[in-house]
Structure 1
Amino acid sequence: MCRWRAWWKGLPALLLLLAAAIYFARAPVEDDLAARSGTLLMQIGESWAHADFNGRDAVLEGEALSEEARVKVRRELARLSGVRSVDDQTTLLPERRPFTFTAIRDGAQLRLEGYVPSVWARERIADAAEKMAPGVVVTGVKDLVRARGVPAGDFVGVVIFGINQLARMPAGRITISDDAFSIEGRAPDFKTYDALEVTVRSELPADFKLARFAVLPPAVSPFVWQASREPDGVRLSGYIPLGDARRALLDMVRSAVPGAAISDQLRLADGSPPTDGWLKAVDFALEQLGRLPDGTVGLSDTTISIEGTAPDFAAYDAIAGARRSVPEGYTLTRFAVTPPAVNPFTWAVMRGSAGLRLTGFAPSEDAKRLVIDAVRAGFPGVPISDEMRIASGGPAAEAWVNATVFGVGQLAKLRSGQVKGKGNTLSVSGEAQDSASYTAIRGAFAGQLPKDFSIQSDVRPPVVSPYVFGMRRDTDGLTISGFYPSTQGHEALIAAAKSEMLGVPVNDVSALASGAPDGFEQATLAALHELARLSNGEARFDDAKLRFTGTALYAAAVDSIRANLEAALPKGFVLDLSLDVVLRHESTNNAACQKAIDDLLARGAIEFSPKGTAIAPVSRGLLDHIAVAASGCPDAVIGVSVQQTTTPDRAAARAQAVTDYLAQAGISPERLLTGTPSALAIQSQSEVAPAQAGLQVIVR
């Protein structure tokens, strides 16, 4: 039986029970659908989307990268078991063109800028940035903007690749613009630079291209570059500036050394001088290298060096001349180009009426300059013609300079002449300016000579005209003045003067000079012999004219002197003789006469011809003075004897010759006795030399 009133009363409780059952059964269903939809979205690669469930009805939210992605998500979610409906509330991300991303490192700071396609991509990039280097501080992660327009390929992978390259540099930047990858910065060393270049150019992720590799190599100092000629071409080493310098440099090498194989070992480096000026300096250096088959040229910052051996004088002259046209801002600090070798190595400095002329070879430019400076100092204002060429194969530069400067010093004392060199021999020849200069030159050659050189001299005394020479005898002695032609002959004349003048002072103020007439020394010696016979007088030569004046000791001596001079003077000489005679000598006693004669014999000796009996001309003066002394005692008998290691007959004949000479001098023959036994023996020299008689004159 139905009791509907009782049933109605239980209905609210039933409804409440039903509602509770429905509520508590819905939550597990929604949670299950949410979990399974999340897994699905991850599996299909659309993690940007998110589904919320109201029962079995899905509400789809998120920012899609494309309409295709929205469709895909709706379709796949609608197929998920248990899903009744899908309410698509997703939106499209804004599209960015170009799609850019930048990572900038400055020491321990890393800043990220730009766009990412998804939260997942942002998280991966942030994680890679945090692990880039110990202590790095990453900023900008939250500011990375999700956007559409990401290029095809592994965008996150290329970002992480770039961050890994930044880890090798203390500072730098990577930039991704669509599919173009760029990197810039400065490598800390060449090893890192090489590794970066290889990695970036060869390992960049697929679908991306390298737009710009602007990593700077390390800065070097000094910035050096070198080019060397080798048998098979030209080797380049050192550094080259950034930019297009390499291409320009290689073109210069091909122009300077046509056809040469180029070994390019240059490294890009920073720290070079301005590239335009650097290339001009390289071009200058390579132009010189083209002239040196075994040369080396180089730059170090703004200095240039050139080394090698010139194959000929044309090449050396061109290279040496180029030293005057070094590019502005650069300095040629090393010039070690060896000139061509010559054999024999000769040179000369010649002095003439038109000035000085330098010819031959010098061992170096510096050595040549030192010699030219010495020439200018020794010959101020004199024109100089420099025809010297630089060559090798000669003496060492220092020795060459010392020897040549020594020769130039002597050349300055010559009226005309030359300094000539050949190998390690130097000769000086010419005519001295004056006697003092000639003496100075002789002194220089007798002193310390340049090391490592043999020195030869052919310096002539000065030529004088008229050629004058004089010998004057007075109360003060004998004075010799004027010029003489040879040292040897003059020394013989001085020795004869000291002997024949019986010890009177001899004052020699004469000087060596050329220009004497033939037979001049013979004529002066003859004049000396006769001058010794005078009490005072002078023998003066003017070229070949002899003026002989003075006072003879006795009247007969005048004609004797004239005759002797006329006989002894060489052909071409002219005699002008004017002699007076000493007034009559006062009479003295015998003892005074003896003492005067003894004094004379103590100061001189009678000489005869070797192995003969003729009285030598050098003894005429002594005999004339003995005759004058003997005439002071007119009543005395004069005994003459000769003692000598010779035959008795020759000794007697020589004594007789003296007796005859005294008789001709005015001593009465009745007063003269020959061969008196007592004599003062003065031993003679050997028979080879002129015989020196042991003469004794006794006054009784």
Structure 2
Amino acid sequence: MCRWRAWWKGLIPLALLAAAAVFFGRAPLEVALTERASDLLSDIGESWARARFDGRDALLEGEALSEDARAKVRAELARMSGVRVVEDRTTLLPERRPFTFTIIRDNTSLRLEGYVPSRYARTRIVEAAREAAPNLKLVGEEGLVRARGVPAGDFAGVVAFGIRQLARMPAGRVTLSDDAFSIEGRAPDFATYDALEVTVRSELPGDFKLARFAVLPPAVAPFVWSAQRDADGVLLAGYIPLGDARRALLDAVRGAVPGAAISDQLRLADGAPPSEGWLKAVSFALQQLGRLPGGKVALSDTTITIEGKAPDFAAYDALSAARRAVPEGYTLTRFAVEPPIVSPFTWGVLRNATGLRLVGYAPSEDAKRLLVDALRSGFPGVATSDEMRIASGGPSAEAWVAGATFGVNQLARLRVGEVRGSGQKLVISGEALDSAAYGAVTGALGGAIPGGFALDRPDVRPPVVKPYVFGLRRDAQGLTVSGFYPDRRDHDNMLELARGEFLGAPVNDVSAVAQGAPPGFARAANVALRELARLESGEVRLDDQKLRFSGVAMLPAAIDSIRAALTADLPPGFVVDIALEVAPPPPLMDGPSCQKALSDLLARGSIRFVEGGTAIDPISRGLLDHLAAALGGCPEATVAIAARAGASAEDQTLAAGRAQAVVDYMAQSGVSAGRLLAIANGAEAAGTPRAPGIDFIVR
């Protein structure tokens, strides 16, 4: 029989036990389901969602990127074992168009701004930033906003890629706008710039596109550029500014050197002068390169250099003219263009009555300018016609300037003339301004010629004078020679004769060389000199072909003798005007004094005879007149005129004849023949040599 009242009492403790079992067994179940749900959501790539459990009932929360993601999470969670029902409380993230993200780096920090699709993406981005830039302060990670609209692909991966590129620069910015990737900044060096450009253009994750690469190359100083031309084309080297300069530059190369192959080794760099002016300067330089096969042009900041070898004079003239048309703001600091080669290398400076004329070639513009400066200094105010061109193939510029300047210095001493050069030979010709200038030129031409030049056929002539004047004056001080003479050799010979004929008297020569002498001038001067030696004092003046002869003769008989000699011996065309007087008789002397006077005269000169004969040489008339005058001072003395002779009979005969010739001359000069005795003074012993000559012996 059922005792239901007792059974009912047992239900209460049983219910309590059941409730306790349910309460204490539910918590571990919920924890286990939550952990399994979290792993599931992570495995399917939907970590944005979170699941909470009330027993076996799931409460799904979170902000989804799309309805598909919400449906996917609900379906996957509902299929998980142990889940009874799923309550979906998820929402959709706000959609952002465009979906942007920015990374900004400066020297001390790395800033993150913009949207992320999930907490997971944010975590990856932050970890990438700390790994790539551990020494920078990370700013903005808490302000990143989750949103829908993320482009396809690994968004966090492309952000990490951008962070790694920024880490290579001291400052910069990476911007993502949907699937467009942009980077800007300044590379610290060319290696970094090159690596950045290659990496960004080739390794950017595939679902993203490069919208802008604005990384600046490093700034360089000086900013150099060059173009070199050879048989294969044009080689471009150095730097090129940012922007569209490369295209404009290549167009300029094609225009200057049509058809040339271009080797472009230029690299972008910052630090260039303003692009517009730089391109004008480059275009100017390339125009000159077009005239220079094998040439080179270069820029360094705002300076230009041009070097090469001009193929012809037209090209060289155009290049020289371009030196005066350099673009504004730029300076041509080096013009090393070698002019065309010429052979022979000739040049000249010509002077005539109207001015100067430059002809031929100079080795460089600087050398020519130095020559022109020398002309301006030596010929102030004189008009100059410049026909000289620049060429190669001659002496070095330094040697040429030295030789040409030397020539110009000599030309300044010429009334008309020329200086011409051919290779290392120098020719100077013309008429001197005056006798002093002629002496200076001939003296300079007698020395070494600067620049290694050799003098070739110099033809510098003395000046032409009119009337042609020459003078000789004899007085107590000696012989003075003045006026002009046409030939130095004849003049020197005359002076040498004068020192003998004037018995060693001092000769003061103040004459100068000149052209314009009448025919027979040298002979006339020698005749006049010979007869002047017969005077105690006197003067000779030649005025063209008119001779004036005046002075004091030592003997009355000498006057007619001098007149006859001048009339007979002067060259045809010369006329003579003679004005002579006689000197007073000498004071009387005793025998020893007379002997001394005669011996002194013979010590200063000697009586000469025609070679091999007894006739007296006319040049001895001056000495004989002085001897005759001395004999006038001892009228009572008897004088033996002894001719020294050898031991042979022939010598004795010749000596006797010469002694008699002197006696006859003395007698014609007014000395009494009775006082004179001619003897031949033979050798003391046979074979003893004796110098020929005449002795006067007072008895």
Query: What TM-score comes out, normalization by structure 2 length?
Result: 0.93
Shift of 1:234: 0.7
Shift of 1:5: 4.8
Distance 2:180 2:173 in 1: 14
Distance 2:696 2:37 in 1: 168
State the partner residue of 2:494: 493
State the partner residue of 1:43: 43
Cα contact 1:642–1:679 (8 A) shared by 2: no
Cα contact 1:600–1:625 (8 A) shared by 2: yes
Letter in 2 for 1:371: L
Distance 2:287 2:570 in 1: 76
Cα contact 1:606–1:693 (8 A) shared by 2: no
1:54 to 2:54 alignment: yes
Structure-2 change in CA distance of 1:82 and 1:134 (3 Å):
closer
1:238 to 2:231 alignment: no
Q: Which piece of structure 1 moves more, 637-646 or 276-285?
A: 637-646
Distance 1:74 1:52 in 2: 13
1:258 to 2:258 alignment: yes
Distance 2:133 2:72 in 1: 40
State the partner residue of 2:538: 537
Cα contact 2:398–2:451 (8 A) shared by 1: no
Shift of 1:630: 2.1
Cα contact 1:461–1:513 (8 A) shared by 2: yes
1:389 to 2:401 alignment: no
State the partner residue of 2:651: 647
Shift of 1:146: 0.5
Q: Which piece of structure 1 moves more, 486-495 or 524-533?
A: 486-495
Shift of 1:105: 2.3
Shift of 1:436: 1.9
Shift of 1:460: 1.7
Deviations 1:356-381, CA, capped at 9 Å, x for gaps:
22222122222222222222222222
Report matched runs for 1:568-647 at 5 Å.
568-585=569-586, 587-644=588-645, 647=651
Report matched runs for 1:451-462 at 5 Å.
451-456=451-456, 457-462=458-463
Distance 1:617 1:76 in 2: 157
Distance 1:277 1:612 in 2: 101
Cα contact 2:56–2:82 (8 A) shared by 1: yes
State the partner residue of 1:365: 365
1:659 to 2:663 alignment: yes
Cα contact 2:288–2:319 (8 A) shared by 1: yes
1:415 to 2:415 alignment: yes
Q: Which piece of structure 1 moves more, 635-644 or 605-614?
A: 635-644
| 3-state DSSP of counterpart to 1:142 | helix
Question: Where in structure 1 are there 5+ consecutive unaligned residues?
Answer: 687-691
Report matched runs for 1:88-107 at 5 Å.
88-107=88-107
Shift of 1:245: 1.3
Shift of 1:81: 4.1
Letter in 2 for 1:624: D
Distance 1:69 1:590 in 2: 166
Cα contact 1:606–1:619 (8 A) shared by 2: yes
State the partner residue of 2:677: 673
Q: Which piece of structure 1 moves more, 459-468 or 436-445?
A: 436-445
Letter in 2 for 1:95: E
1:175 to 2:189 alignment: no
Cα contact 1:340–1:392 (8 A) shared by 2: yes
Cα contact 2:640–2:697 (8 A) shared by 1: yes
Cα contact 1:641–1:678 (8 A) shared by 2: no
| 3-state DSSP of counterpart to 1:219 | coil
Structure-2 change in CA distance of 1:679 and 1:381 (3 Å):
farther
Letter in 2 for 1:564: A
Cα contact 2:400–2:451 (8 A) shared by 1: no
Cα contact 1:345–1:423 (8 A) shared by 2: yes
Shift of 1:584: 4.7
State the partner residue of 1:527: 528
Structure-2 change in CA distance of 1:48 and 1:585 (3 Å):
closer
Deviations 1:491-548, CA, capped at 9 Å, x for gaps:
1111211211122222221122222112211111100111111122111011111111
Report matched runs for 1:509-520 at 5 Å.
509-520=510-521
Shift of 1:168: 2.6
Distance 2:599 2:198 in 1: 121
Letter in 2 for 1:36: R
Cα contact 1:641–1:679 (8 A) shared by 2: no
Q: Which piece of structure 1 moves more, 404-413 or 631-640?
A: 631-640
State the partner residue of 1:309: 309
| 3-state DSSP of counterpart to 1:324 | coil
Distance 2:260 2:273 in 1: 28
Structure-2 change in CA distance of 1:673 and 1:147 (3 Å):
same
Letter in 1 for 2:594: C
Shift of 1:82: 4.2
State the partner residue of 2:286: 286
Distance 1:36 1:386 in 2: 105
Distance 1:71 1:677 in 2: 168
Cα contact 1:103–1:175 (8 A) shared by 2: yes
Shift of 1:592: 3.8
Distance 2:503 2:28 in 1: 163
Distance 2:52 2:189 in 1: 56
Cα contact 1:545–1:574 (8 A) shared by 2: yes
Distance 1:183 1:170 in 2: 13
Letter in 2 for 1:247: R
Deviations 1:165-211, CA, capped at 9 Å, x for gaps:
22333332211111101112222332222222112111111121101
| 3-state DSSP of counterpart to 2:97 | coil
State the partner residue of 1:124: 124
Q: Which piece of structure 1 moves more, 578-587 or 178-187?
A: 578-587
Deviations 1:407-456, CA, capped at 9 Å, x for gaps:
22222222222222111122222222222222222332344542522234
Cα contact 1:679–1:696 (8 A) shared by 2: no
Shift of 1:86: 3.2
1:333 to 2:333 alignment: yes
Shift of 1:11: 4.8
Question: Where in structure 2 are there 5+ consecutive unaligned residues?
Answer: none
1:191 to 2:195 alignment: no
Letter in 1 for 2:504: G
Shift of 1:115: 0.8
Deviations 1:624-663, CA, capped at 9 Å, x for gaps:
1222222333344443232245633332222222222222
Distance 1:313 1:566 in 2: 69
1:465 to 2:466 alignment: yes
| 3-state DSSP of counterpart to 2:143 | coil
Superposition RMSD in Å: 2.4
Distance 1:132 1:586 in 2: 134
Distance 2:163 2:507 in 1: 110
Report matched runs for 1:261-280 at 5 Å.
261-280=261-280
Letter in 2 for 1:425: K
Structure-2 change in CA distance of 1:634 and 1:27 (3 Å):
closer
Shift of 1:64: 1.3
Structure-2 change in CA distance of 1:28 and 1:599 (3 Å):
closer
Alignment length, in residue pairs? 691
State the partner residue of 1:689: none
Deviations 1:561-608, CA, capped at 9 Å, x for gaps:
122112221122221222222345555444443332222212211111
Q: Which piece of structure 1 moves more, 256-265 or 624-633?
A: 624-633
Structure-2 change in CA distance of 1:585 and 1:190 (3 Å):
closer
Distance 1:644 1:184 in 2: 125
| 3-state DSSP of counterpart to 1:482 | strand
Distance 2:240 2:95 in 1: 44
Distance 1:192 1:677 in 2: 121
Distance 1:642 1:318 in 2: 89
Shift of 1:259: 0.4
Distance 1:413 1:317 in 2: 34
Distance 1:237 1:347 in 2: 41
Deviations 1:47-71, CA, capped at 9 Å, x for gaps:
2112222233332211111233223
Distance 1:616 1:321 in 2: 76
Q: Which piece of structure 1 moves more, 453-462 or 152-161?
A: 453-462
Letter in 1 for 2:543: D
Letter in 1 for 2:658: R
Cα contact 2:585–2:632 (8 A) shared by 1: no
Structure-2 change in CA distance of 1:644 and 1:306 (3 Å):
farther
